[in-house]
Amino acid sequence: MMLIVFLILLIPTNIKAATVNTYLVCPTSANKGDTISCKINVTSDVTINGVAAKYNLGTNFTYVSFTPNTSSGFSSNYTSASGFSVGNNTGKNGTFTIGILKVKVNNPGSLSITNFDLSDTNFNAYTATNKTATIRLNSTNNDLGSLTTNQG
């Protein structure tokens, strides 16, 4: 009996799992040929000091640039048309922007950020789900030919 009580006292009662979420925030519409900016955000209750991910732009979008958010303390380790890797020596928690992805809109469609790999200041690894944004083209039809009125 004493052994059971002792074992119960050894079991931690306040276990908290880390929460790390990512977000892709893009405009919902644009004109064909426009360059749009998409924010890549993180919400975390652990101190994140590294993030890497890949882009899936398909043929509807053309990579322009990725710029780390230096105001959040992140600098670029690697950036290309296929993905990015950023780091922060002191780390960051809460809700913050990792960086800005700029793409040229060729056609309406979806773009996604995949294969998120995040790490905290203790070198623990975290993954996040893929994020997708759908961009539609603004209408260029300014023809009022289908407008009718009723006389009353």
Whole-number Å distance between alpha carbons of 57 and 70:
24
Residue 3's pLDDT is 39
- Per run of 10 residues, the mean pLDDT along the chain (length 152 residues) is 41 54 96 97 94 96 96 92 94 95 97 95 92 91 59 64
Residue 139's pLDDT is 80
Q: Over the range 101-140, which residues count as b (16 or more CB within 10 Å of their CB) and which as e?
A: bebbbeeebebbbeebebbbbeeeebebeebebebeeeee
Task: Tell me the residue length of the chain.
Answer: 152
Phi-psi region of 121 (alpha: psi -120 to 50; beta: other; left: phi over 0): alpha
Asked if residues 59 and 106 have their Cβ atoms less than 8 Å apart, the reply is: yes
User: Which residue do the tokens 């922060």 mark?
Assistant: 88
Residue 79's pLDDT is 93
